[in-house]
Structure 1
Amino acid sequence: MLKTRIITALVLLAILLPALFASSPLPFALLTLVLIAAAGWEWSRLNGAPGLPAWGMGLGLAALCAASLQWLGLQAAPAWCWWLGGAIWVLGGAQALRSGPSHWPQISRGLRLGLGVLALWAAWLAMAQAKAVGINFLLSIFSLVWMADVAAYFGGRSLGRRKLAPAISPGKSWEGVWSGMVAVLLLGFLWAYVIDQRLAVDSASLYQRLLHGQGLAIGVLALLFLSAMSVVGDLFESLIKRAVGAKDSSQLLPGHGGVLDRVDALLPVFPLAMALASLGAPA
């Protein structure tokens, strides 16, 4: 299993890195469009619409993203779009997690599929526009989610005592969440005060925009909030899988499960990061 995970990760990096560092943002936008379409296919299958409907959702989501790219280009969407998407995640995510896995199948299939389209479309658009801002800005958002996830895993394994959501994801603990938050703050200060200041980056990072542009106190609160929302995204996908008895969203990525399994924590964080970054120019 470990060998398979490593090989899959290396193949993905070989595809991702040229697109990420291309001079034009279009290769990255197109690559992530393929991935988000695959996530749409997985979402449809998890929510009671396999087969042709799942293919239709994946292709329809890709068409929606492509139309958005044609309409908006790679210019920033209005800030209110990100705030609206963020509010839906905060309120809807809290309600879904409070209700638990048993309530999710009771929601109409059409609404569940529509929510999936909205979440995946908003995340893709935010990701594509973050790349247009700059590689440093984009990587700082990715790294926030990765750091929160890795630190939560190791912090939970070594310190975990109190379960976070045993009915949804029994392995997660409050100690893991706090470990992730501390790690994100450390990463944020390192990035804003060392990487952004001493290296020739192409754009201000999210950390620079929050800790410098919005002031230290607001910046710290924003980073803690984003770290918490990465957990919400992870738990939300776990809730859906738990509701249908699935271990992974698919087997598209050998050793890793499905695309949704890899991007779940990114779904709420990217729109919210774009919303918070829109509050002001970097200092």
Structure 2
Amino acid sequence: MLKQRVITALILMAILLPSLAAQALWPFAALGLLFVSAAGWEWARLNGWPGLRAVALGAGVAVLGYVVAEAVHLDPWGLSSAPHAESAAAAHVHVPGQALAGFVVPAAVWWVSGALWALGGALALRWGTRYWKQSPTVLRALLGLGILVVAWLALTESKAQGLNFLLSIFCLVWAADIGAYFGGRAFGRRKLAISISPGKSWEGVWSGMLSVLLLAVAWIAVDRHWSVDSPSMYSHLLSGLGPVGLVLSIVFLVGMSVVGDLFESLIKRQAGAKDSSQLLPGHGGVLDRIDALLPVLPLVLALMSLCHG
């Protein structure tokens, strides 16, 4: 199993790293769209849409993602003038709720999706074990379609800001997960959601939050003393919201990463599946790898719209 995991990880890195290093946005956007389309296929299968309907939902994610990106002038394919460069060069209007200079997608997209994640996630974790499987299959499929398209938009917008900005979001989720794992093993006593994921504990959540706070301090120091291609998410939050806003934002984002993880665990448990698929041998499926990112990505960009200063 370990050998299989390592081989899969190496293959994924060989595919991902060139797209991250490319100056053009489209290689990363195309690869991201491929992955979220695969996640759409997994979502459909977990929610009672197997076979051709699952393929159709995966294709729908790709098509809708392309259409919505063009509608909001994100244009990751470089088919029109460079919107990010034009926006960055424009006058910076200090209006809370409007996107920072250099961001393209309207902040309202992130605030609406973030609010739905916060409210819907809480409801799903409270009542999902009782009602999720009873809800209409079409409704669940459309929900997955929307979640994945918004996540891809946020992923692409984040990459357009710079590699440092994107990696700071990824590492928030990874540090929270690693901190929660080791903190939960060492100190875990009170179960977080035993009916959904018996292994998770409140102590693990606090450990994950502490891990990300320490990461933020280190990352801000790197931003200040090293030459990086873009400010990190942590530096944006510190300069825009101050130290207290930074801490509160990190606590909130880590909490929402846990919600994303638990939400996918709920869906798998309702479907009687251990993994979302076996597309990534040794690692499960794509949804298993991106579940915590799904709420975090749009919420980070929502917070960015407050970081004027």
Q: What range is the shorter-chain TM-score in? A: over 0.9
Give the AA of the match of 1:211: L
1:95-244 matches, cutoff 5 A: 95-192=123-220, 194-244=221-271
Does the CA-based 8 Å contact 1:252-1:259 persist in structure 2?
yes
- 8 Å contact from structure 1 (residues 83, 272) kept in 2: yes
Among 95, 114, 136, the alignment partner of 1:86 is 114
Structure-2 separation of matches of 1:158 and 1:9: 27
Shift of 1:272: 0.1
User: For residues 36 and 118 of structure 1, what CA distance do their matches in structure 2 show?
Assistant: 11
Whether the aligned pair in 1 keeps the contact of 2:264 and 2:291 (CA below 8 Å) is yes
Q: Find the residue that maps to 1:164 and give its secondary structure.
A: strand
SS of 1:142's equivalent in the other structure is helix
* Dislocated runs of 4+, deviation >4 Å: none
Deviation string 1:41-80 (CA, Å, 9 cap, x unpaired) is 0000000000000000000110111222333214521001
What is the percent sequence identity of the aligned residues? 60
CA distance, structure 2, for counterparts of residue 127 and residue 195 of structure 1: 23
Counterparts of 2:110 and 2:134 in 1: how far apart (Å)?
28
Q: For residue 129 of structure 2, give the secondary structure of its aligned residue in structure 1.
A: coil
**Structure 2 Cα separation of the partners of residues 68 and 199 of structure 1:** 36
Structure 2: gaps of 5 or more residues: 77-83, 85-103
Residue in 2 aligned with 1:268?
Answer: 295
2:23 alignment counterpart: 23
- 8 Å contact kept, 2:33–2:65: yes
CA distance in 1, matches of 2:217, 2:179: 16
Q: Is the 8 A contact 2:129 2:266 kept in 1?
A: yes
Q: Is the 8 A contact 2:239 2:307 kept in 1?
A: no
Moved more, 197-206 or 33-42: 197-206
**Matched residue, 1:36:** 36
Where do 1:45-60 residues align within 5 Å? 45-60=45-60
- Partner Cα distance (1:174, 1:19) in 2: 37
Q: Which moved more, 1:226-235 or 1:194-203?
A: 194-203
AA aligned opposite 2:217: F
Inter-partner Cα distance in structure 2 for 1:159 and 1:63: 46
1:177 Cα deviation (Å)?
0.3
Q: CA deviation at 1:102?
A: 2.9
Aligned to 2:11: 11
Q: Deviations over 1:148-173 (max 9, x none)?
A: 01110111111111110000000100
Q: How big is the shift at 1:247?
A: 0.3
**Residue identity matched to 2:250:** L
Query: d(CA) in 2 for partners of 1:166 and 1:39?
Result: 25
CA separation in 2, counterparts of 1:41 and 1:63?
13
Three-state SS of the structure 2 residue aligned to 1:215 is helix
Structure 1 residue 25 displacement after superposition: 1.1
CA distance in 1, matches of 2:119, 2:6: 37
Q: TM-score, normalised by structure 1?
A: 0.97
**SS of aligned partner of 1:279:** coil
Q: Which has the larger radius of gyration?
A: 2
After superposition, what is the alpha-carbon deviation per residue over 1:18-60, rounded to whole angstroms, capped at 9, x for unaligned?
0001011110000010000000000000000000000000001
- How large is the Cα RMSD of the aligned pairs? 1.0
Is the CA contact (8 Å cut-off) linking 2:173 and 2:257 kept in structure 1? yes
How many residues of Structure 1 are paired with residues of Structure 2 in the alignment?
A: 281
Question: Unaligned 5+ residue runs, structure 1?
Answer: none
1: CA distance between counterparts of 2:284 and 2:222?
33
